[in-house]
Each structure stands twice: as structure tokens, then as C-alpha cells.
């Protein structure tokens, strides 16, 4: 890893945290410094205000990611590529090919961001009710944003904080949370985290592994098959299972935990009788249990 150079021209203030240099015998150093003060642009304020008006018009069943915040909680807006459109049935949000996180705008090439703009414009163009509806909500800049080519850093910043990138509405947990409470998109891979919004309510995606770390598992067959094995799909880097999972992925195999493992029992706890010692059961009538390309047991 290359050494971090001078911070004289950086946006990051040159202030170290206590014990703020980490190093090894290799020639690398990482400076632990304060974040630059993150300002909330006028573009982001306008986008958030509009998104909240849209959310107020939506029923609970139509919300894209989980229930409406309750009590003292509020919507957090994730810079995740939020393509809001209005059709005959009301508002819908689609995800862009990629979203630009606030800090990632500083490495974003304008021509590549402009492709995102063109793709968003094509989608919005298929929903002709969208721009008039946004104008009624006070977001009159939407049409200009979609029409104007992105050629410089100012335009990248405007797109990054716009309604079409910065307003994926999430609870704090789904946005920034950590296990063992709620896994947030900022900390867990989206191919896994996304399952939280489509899984059966009685299937536990996130489980505690024997070493105390938290991982994510998936069934190896469809609901009702009777197969209680679970496939390990994510573990943190420090987990004892991390090396085995990486080896299985390298070999094109699945890392599978048996039906009597604690992980399987946690995952299927809502589908089996209390006190049962295995998550396996008789397969569905007239249906054979399928196997994957191969497997590697981890426990």
C-alpha cells in the first residue's frame, strides 16, 4: 500500500486522532484523520424535500425499502442511484446502474456520470407524468438536470446530490446499521443486503456464527423442500469461516452448513417447531432435493 502523501491541498484537515498512525514493517502508513466538514448542498436539500413529499403520497405497501420510520426516527436519504418516476399507478423508484456516494464524486469522471444522466433521462422519458408532477412538488430543476450534459466537477456534484441519485429512502438501520442490530447497505454487500427486502419474514438471513461473528445464509433449495442445509454467503473478514468461504468461492463451490448447525437452526427458527434439533424435514411430496455444483462444509 502506498504511503499517504501530503495533505496540504486535501479537503481533509491535518488533525490526527489519538494513536493515529498505523504501520507495519512494510513501507506503508495510514493517517487516521478527522472527516472534512460535510456541507449539505442546496441541491441535496431540495432533493430530500421533494423525496419526502413523494413518500408522503405513497402508501406503506408502495415504499421501496421497508416500513415508514416511526417515532423519533426519520427517513435517511442514501446516495444510491434513486430514479423516481410517476406512472398511472403513482410514484415508483428504480435504482440506477450505479449510485454515486457523496465521497465518490471526487473520483467520478464526468463522461461516465453523463452516461448515468442519459440513462435516467431515457427512463424518465418513458413516464411522461414525472416531470410535471415534480414541478408541482417544487422540483422544477429536474428537466434541466436530465437535459444538461455533465462535463465538469460542478455538474458531477449537482448530479450526485440530485433527486436522481441521492434519494434512496431508508431507515437508519438499513442505511448505516451494523449487526447484531440491523445490517446497513453501507457495511454489507448489496447482493446479500438486498435479500432483506424480498425474503420470507420467517427466514432469518443474518445469523450468529459459532465464533460470535455475524454472517448471512441462504437456503439451498426452495421453500417446502425439507432441506435444512444453508449456504454461507457472507462473513466479515475476521470470522473464522472467512478463509473457508473464500476457498469455496475460488473453487466454484458452495460453503454449506448442515441442518443441525446453529446457523441453520437460527435461519429456519420461524419455520420449525421450538426445540427441534435439526432444520431438515421430509422433502416435498414428489420432488427430489437438488444439489449444487459442489459444497464445502464449514462447521
Q: Using one digit for the tens of pLDDT, what is the confidence trace for 213-223?
A: 999 999 999 88
Give me the pLDDT at residue 38, please.
Answer: 62
Report d(CA 60, CA 159) in Å as an integer: 28
The tens digit of pLDDT for each residue in 126-169 reads 999 999 999 999 999 999 999 999 999 999 999 999 999 999 99
Mean pLDDT of the 45-61 span:
96
The tens digit of pLDDT for each residue in 66-123 reads 889 888 889 999 999 999 999 999 999 999 999 999 988 988 999 999 999 999 999 9
C-alpha cell at 273: 417447531
Mean pLDDT of the 236-263 span:
92
Burial degree of 228 (CB within 10 A; 0-12, 13-18, 19+): buried
Give me the pLDDT at residue 242, please.
Answer: 93
Band of the pLDDT at 299, cuts 50, 70, 90? low
Q: Which are the contacts of 176, defined by CB distance < 8 A and separation ≥ 6?
A: 76, 184, 186, 187
The tens digit of pLDDT for each residue in 9-38 reads 434 344 444 445 444 555 566 666 665 566
Give me the pLDDT at residue 126, please.
Answer: 98
Give me the pLDDT at residue 56, please.
Answer: 96
Give me the pLDDT at residue 114, please.
Answer: 97
The neighbouring-strand residues paired with 218 are 231
Q: Are strands 295-297 and 16-23 parallel, antiparallel or unpaired?
A: unpaired
Q: What is the overall mean pLDDT for the chain?
A: 84
Q: Structural domain boundaries of the chain? A: 1-37, 42-170, 177-297
Give me the pLDDT at residue 32, please.
Answer: 67
Residue 200 clears pLDDT 80, i.e. is over it: yes
Give me the pLDDT at residue 298, please.
Answer: 62
CA distances in angstroms from 156 to 56, 61, 205, listed in the order given = 29, 33, 36
Residue 292 clears pLDDT 50, i.e. is over it: no
Q: Are strands 230-234 and 29-33 parallel, antiparallel or unpaired?
A: unpaired
**Residue 39's CB: how many other CB atoms inside 10 A?**
7
Residue 294 clears pLDDT 80, i.e. is over it: no
Q: What angle do CA 119, 192, 261 make, to 5 degrees?
A: 170
Closest listed residue to residue 122, CA positions, set 99, 102, 105, 147: 147
Its pTM stands at: 0.74
Give me the pLDDT at residue 268, please.
Answer: 93
Amino acid at each position: 500500500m502506498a504511503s499517504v502523501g501530503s495533505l496540504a491541498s486535501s479537503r481533509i484537515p491535518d488533525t490526527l486522532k489519538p494513536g493515529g498512525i498505523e504501520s507495519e514493517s512494510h513501507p506503508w502508513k495510514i493517517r487516521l484523520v478527522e472527516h472534512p466538514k460535510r456541507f449539505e448542498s442546496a441541491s441535496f436539500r431540495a432533493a430530500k424535500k421533494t423525496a419526502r413529499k413523494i413518500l408522503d403520497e405513497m402508501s406503506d405497501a408502495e415504499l421501496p425499502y421497508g416500513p415508514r420510520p416511526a417515532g423519533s426516527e426519520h427517513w435517511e436519504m442514501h446516495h444510491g442511484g434513486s430514479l423516481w418516476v410517476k406512472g398511472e399507478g403513482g410514484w415508483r423508484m428504480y435504482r440506477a446502474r450505479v449510485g454515486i456516494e457523496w465521497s465518490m464524486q471526487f473520483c467520478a469522471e464526468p463522461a461516465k456520470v453523463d452516461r448515468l444522466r442519459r440513462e435516467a433521462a431515457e427512463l424518465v422519458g418513458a413516464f411522461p407524468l414525472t416531470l410535471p408532477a415534480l414541478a408541482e412538488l417544487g422540483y422544477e430543476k429536474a428537466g434541466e438536470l436530465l437535459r444538461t450534459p455533465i462535463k465538469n466537477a460542478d455538474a458531477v456534484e449537482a448530479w450526485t446530490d440530485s433527486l436522481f441519485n441521492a434519494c434512496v429512502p431508508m431507515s437508519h438501520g438499513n442505511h448505516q446499521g451494523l449487526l447484531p442490530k440491523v445490517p446497513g447497505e453501507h457495511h454489507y454487500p448489496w447482493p446479500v443486503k438486498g435479500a432483506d427486502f424480498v425474503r420470507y419474514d420467517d427466514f432469518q438471513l443474518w445469523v450468529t456464527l459459532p465464533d460470535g461473528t455475524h454472517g448471512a445464509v441462504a437456503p439451498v433449495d426452495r421453500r417446502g423442500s425439507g432441506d435444512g442445509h444453508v449456504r454461507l454467503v457472507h462473513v466479515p473478514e475476521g470470522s473464522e469461516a472467512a478463509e473457508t468461504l473464500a476457498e469455496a468461492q475460488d473453487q466454484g463451490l458452495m460453503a454449506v452448513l448442515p441442518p443441525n448447525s446453529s446457523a441453520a437452526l437460527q435461519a429456519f427458527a420461524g419455520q420449525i417447531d421450538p426445540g427441534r434439533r435439526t432444520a431438515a424435514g421430509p422433502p416435498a411430496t414428489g420432488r427430489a432435493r437438488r444439489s449444487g455444483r459442489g459444497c464445502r462444509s464449514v462447521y
